[in-house]
Structures are given as structure tokens and as C-alpha cells.
Amino acid sequence: MNLEQLKGQFIKLYGRKPEKIFGYFSPGRVNLIGEHTDYNGGYVFPCALSYGTCLFIRKTNDHQIKFASANFDFTAVIRLTDIKQKQNDHWINYPMGVLNEFIKLGIRLTGMELLFSGNVPNGAGLSSSASIEVVTAIAINELYEAGLNRVELAKLGQRAENLFVGVNCGIMDQFASAMGKKDSAIFLNCDTLEYELVPVVMNGYRLVISNTNKRRGLADSKYNERRGECEKAVEYISSKKRIQNLGELSFDEFKGLKDTITKENILKRARHVITEIQRTKDAVSALKSGNLKKFGVLMNGSHDSLRDDYEVTGIELDTLVEEARKVEGVIGSRMTGAGFGGCTVSLVAESAIDEFIDKVGRNYHTRTGLKADFYTADIGDGARKLGEY
């Protein structure tokens, strides 16, 4: 993103005024392993990306919030008194939800002008929504001196998505966007929010993100259905052992309690969560010991479980993973994000990246009729201020 161009676009849109323009950035994320475990109180292992969302913002003396994006034609002007009114399914619900949470905290907002610009593929499963929420949160937190720390801002972004947008997401996406660190991934316990920054040493491999370009509307997908099925599994298991979420169970405990679950689909959902938590722990241990190939094997196991037990992949994601695993130099490939479209993440030898993009791209198009996009990903820092203009 060219910040000077964005500043020029901001001035063209809103005019020159004596008040300062402030710039902020918040990244998208990719989850290396630990999928659909966050809202179950388990472990995840995401990292922030160099891709993300810029926000240019200026305070005004009126009572209007003006929204615009360099990525979409839709703009809006909302009065502060109308901030609780949901605007259909437009992208402004994400920043509006954040503003609404600050209002609930008693922060007295004024009018403001906002211009967003993102290079996270929208709807791809790399958390463009969390990126928008977190960049809005850090801007409002600073400009209105709300005094929240980074973890509190991540939780505020999650509340905005849960309560205003209507998606029952866990904390992972907002946490990774707010707390990321260059060249490290975050080993996060989503129940306690204890976390550890783990250096990611690639030793000649790179992360390659492959976008199915099958759009998925998360709010109307089966995401909420899966969350409900996990809650049902907790009910079954609690007939013998009282738990609040599946993440409280060890693998061995689950083996002794799984017979309490009488519905096959509920058992499959729970089995994925329990085994995925164990895979995530094992993957972090493998990375710490320098065993990148074992990490790749565990990535493969994660995808297979998401396909067979959690049933959130679909032909597009499965095809990308199948074709990726055929390429020599690929040691792991899995879907990342909520599923039902979106992206895969693969560990690819640097020498094989060109072949990977060519072969996987051609074969994916032949099998699905869709054109995949590929991104060689760098692990970047979390949300931050860019400057004053």
C-alpha cells in the first residue's frame, strides 16, 4: 500500500482541513495449525502477515461518522446517534461494531472521517474482518485515550464481530492481528489467553498461501452450526464429567468419555477438536526442536481431520491440498481459516515455489474451473501506528 497515494485519496475524498490525519495498520493472519479449536477453549498457532488493512482517520467537530474504502465503492455517513443500527451486510458493520463497543465503555466519540485500504483478500479466510476491527480499535483507543491494552483491544474486536456482525468467532483472529511479531507465531491458549511467541525458522522453506477464490460468507456459512455441535458435545460429556468446553479434556480423557456422545456427527466434531488440540501442541514442539518435516506431517493430519471429521473443507480446498501434496518439495498443506472456501497454507521448499504455483494452479483450474491466487507469505508484526500527516 502506498501511503502517500492513500493520503491523497483521503484529501480528495474529505478535503484539506487543519486537523491532523492519523494512519494505522493491522495485519491479517494465517493459522499454521489449530483450526476450529479457538472457540472450544483449545490451542491455536497463528501468525500475523505482512498483508493487512491501513486506516487513515481524522476527527471532526460534527456528529457524523464517514466511512469509505479504497477497495469498495460503498460509502456511508452515519450519525453518532445511529451507530447501533446495523447496515445490512456492508463492510462498515465491522468498524461500526468496534465503535459501538467503545460507546458501551463510556468513551465519548466525536465525528470522524475514515478511509480503509486493505490488501488481505476479502472472504479468503485470512481475517480481513479482524484486520479491520483491530485497526479501528487501536485508532479509537489512541485518539480518544481509552487506555485499553492490546489484549483488551483484541477482545473488544471479537465482541464487535460476535454481537454486532453476528458471527460467533473465537478470539484467535483479533489476537493474532493485535499481538503478532515478525518471524514468530503465537502459541495461544484460547481459554486462558496465555500465549507464547515461538520463532518460526523455515530452513529453506516458505509459507505459500493458495486462495481458492471461492467466496464464503462466514456469517451465513455452517460456522455457527459447527460451534453449536461442539456445544452439544459438551452437553453429552457433562453427563459424566462437568466441563465448560472441549478444550478442557486431554486426549486420554476424551477416549474414556466419548461413548457419552450418542450422535455420530457430534462425536466426529468433538474428535476433531480433541485431536487438533493435540496436533497443535505436537506441532509447536516439533518447530521448537527444528523438525519442520514433522510439523508438515501434522499440518496434513489437521486438514484430513477437518475434511473427514469436521467436514468444513469442500472440493475447492481439498483439490488445492491434493495437488499441493503431489509437488516434490511440499512437506505440508492444509486449509486455514473457517473453511467452506478461502485459503490453504503450504510449507514449500524455496526451490519448488515456481513449480508449485504453476502445477497447482493449472491442475486446480482443470478440476474446478476456478483460478487460484498464490501469495508467498512473510510473517509480520501486529497492529501499529503508521504516523501523523
Strands (E), the chain: 22-31, 43-44, 46-60, 64-69, 76-79, 111-118, 184-189, 195-199, 205-211, 330-336, 343-349, 373-377, 384-388
Matching residue, cell 497492529: 383
Distance CA 291, CA 202 (A): 10
Q: Write out the DSSP string of 41-94.
A: T-EE-EEEEEEEEEEEEEEESSSEEEEEESS-S--EEEEGGGTTS--TT-TTHH
Nearest to residue 120, comparing CAs of 313, 324, 342? 342
If you search the block for the grid coordinates 483450526, which residue do you land on? 35
Q: Any catalytic annotation for residue 173?
A: yes
Other Cβ atoms less than 10 A from the Cβ of 264: the count is 8
Q: Are 173 and 53 in contact (CB under 8 A)?
A: no
355's CB contacts (< 8 A; 6+ apart) are 327, 329
Report the C-alpha gap between 189 and 187 in whole angstroms.
7
Q: How far apart are CA 25 and CA 306, in angstroms?
A: 32
Q: How far is it, in rounded angstroms, from Cα 115 to Cα 75?
A: 10
Rounded CA separation 376/151 (Å): 28
What residue type is assigned to position 25 of the chain? F
Phi and psi at residue 59, to the nearest 5°: -75, 145
| Active-site residue, from 62, 89, 173, 378 | 173
DSSP symbols for 150-198? HHHHHHHHHHIIIIII-----SHHHHHHHH-BTTEEEEEETTT--EEEE
Q: Which residues contact 47 (CB under 8 A, 6 or more apart)?
A: 29, 30, 32, 176, 180, 184, 185, 186, 200, 379
Whether 187 and 314 have beta carbons less than 8 Å apart is answered as: no
Q: Which residues are catalytic?
A: 173
